[in-house]
Amino acid sequence: MPEQPSSLGLAAAPGPTLSLSAFKTWFWRPPRPHGEAIAHRRVSPLELLHDLVYAAVIAQAGLRLAGQVSVRGLVDFALVFSLTYIAWTQGSTYLELHGRNNGRTRAFVFVQIGILAILAVYAAESSAVGGSDFAIAYASFLLVMTYLWYDVRRQDIALGHREFVAEAGLYVVAMGISAVAILVSALLPPQLRLTAWAVYTVAWTLLLLISGRAGVGISRALTPTDSLVDRFGTFTMIVLGEVVFGVVDGLSRSPLDFMTISTGMIALVVGFGFWWIYFDVVGGRFPNRDGRALAHWMLSHGPITLSIAAAGVGMVSLIEHAHDPSASAPTSWLLSGAVAIGLVFLIFASRALAGARTLETAFRPLWFGMAAGAVLSLFVGWVRPAPWLLAVVLVVVLGLIWAIAVRGFVLAGAWAAEEAPG
């Protein structure tokens, strides 16, 4: 009889020695080399689990800001979120480029998940007493990633992929320096530590921009694929869950009456508005293949997801003060500013899409609508209406922008083409 494949994708072996050897080969198979991206690969359950763990870090990071909305609290939250987003992009791009469905990849992902669980514990107090421990955990994550990328470079050398060796080496050096810098920040007083984290965030942003503009850079190593687009959509979906958590948290902390529940439900629709706009305009659409567009697309998702997470945190305060005649200034600016920033960077993300030029008649009015919506959101934040009315106006702004998107895409025939079979 012919050999039948096992559940691990290995051929059945006639003897225990050969079977054990085959298992070892599968379990510790080296990372997928550069240049072997799988265009139509589905996102694996392991990657989904990896992404979900970041929800715990983000939720913990927002606890301090939810308890007391302030400028300092917002800055602290933005820095921790930025560190989290950078870590997510590093882990996700590694899995996209070099991950396999084998034991080695799974083992290292579970190691990362363990570190992220510790990171979440200290995220709530990362700007104060827990900052040093947060930095140590984050540096540990970076050291793991440094080793993984070093292993990729070693394999590039072994396989003779000289075109990738220099770039991989530079990336390994950047990762190693980052790990040391974050570890040193654990020894600094809180204010200097936050400054060091801000410098780290800016440095990685500039590195990605420079890589996108280089003659040989991100565009050669990272090709837009179905799984890459899905991963960024999944992360956005996870962050949208923070809006639901914020509404539930706000309702749980407040006496439940008609005004409080109504404010919470309207606030929840703000999250729905983000979902409709993102997944109908950006989500599921491929970015351009050139490095500059790809870098802008990846970087834009940082502020987009940050704004959604910040809005979720702001829901708590909004609902707790549902009976106030006007929203407090910090809460009003937090929510309106979050919507405004999200809309502005949705412009950048959509401009980086592969279909932005061919569907310019649909996108151009939408870009103007998003810009106008951002201005209107900030104006509403400055006016500071009652909490329920603030939420209503933000829902109307997002609804009108979605209507502009629907009109443009329907008239251009874009959605009909996407839904056509084959």
d(CA 408, CA 362): 4
d(CA 332, CA 175): 38
pLDDT for position 421: 41
* pLDDT surpassing 60 at residue 422: no
Q: For residue 15, give both structure tokens.
A: 């003897």
Task: Spell out the alpha helix ranges (H) of 216-257.
Answer: 218-221, 226-252
- Number of helical H runs and strand E runs in the chain: 16, 0
pLDDT for position 372: 97
Q: Tokens 């790990």, residue? A: 179
Sign of the C-alpha dihedral computed for residues 197, 201, 206 and 211 taken in this order: positive
* pLDDT surpassing 70 at residue 206: yes
d(CA 277, CA 406): 10
Torsion-angle region of 14 (φ positive above 0: left; ψ -120 to 50: alpha; else: beta): alpha
d(CA 168, CA 211): 12
pLDDT for position 146: 93
d(CA 419, CA 297): 24
Q: If we measure between CA atoms, which residue out of 273, 270, 285 comes closest to residue 229? A: 285
The alpha carbon torsion through 396, 402, 408, 412 (nearest 10 deg) reads -160
Amino acid at 307: S
Coarse DSSP helix, strand, coil percentages of the chain, rounded to the nearest 5 percent:
75, 0, 20
pLDDT for position 6: 38
CA gyration radius for the chain? 23
d(CA 95, CA 106): 10
pLDDT for position 417: 46
* pLDDT surpassing 70 at residue 5: no
DSSP per residue, 164-194: HHHHHHHHHHHHHHHHHHHHHHTTS-HHHHH
pLDDT for position 1: 35
The alpha carbon torsion through 30, 34, 39, 42 (nearest 10 deg) reads 30
d(CA 404, CA 286): 21
Model pLDDT for residues 256-304, shown as the tens digit of each residue: 899 999 999 999 999 999 999 999 999 989 998 888 888 899 999 999 9
What's the pLDDT band for 93 if we cut at 50, 70, 90? confident
pLDDT for position 18: 55
d(CA 307, CA 305): 5
Residue 32 DSSP SS3: coil
Task: Quote the pTM value.
Answer: 0.89
Q: Which of 5-9, 142-146, 201-205, 240-244 has the lowest mean pLDDT?
A: 5-9
Instruction: Tell me which DSSP letter residue 234 carries.
Output: H
Q: Is the Cβ–Cβ distance between 144 and 107 less than 8 Å? A: no
Model pLDDT for residues 127-171, shown as the tens digit of each residue: 777 789 999 999 999 999 999 988 888 887 877 777 777 777 888
d(CA 342, CA 355): 21
d(CA 276, CA 80): 27
Which one is predicted more confidently, 164 or 385?
Answer: 385
* pLDDT surpassing 50 at residue 9: no
DSSP per residue, 359-383: THHHHHHHHHHHHHHHHHHHHHHHH
The mean of the pLDDT values for the chain is 86
Task: Spell out the alpha helix ranges (H) of 321-359.
Answer: 329-351
Q: Count of alpha carbons within 13 Å of 409, Cβ hemisphere only? A: 19
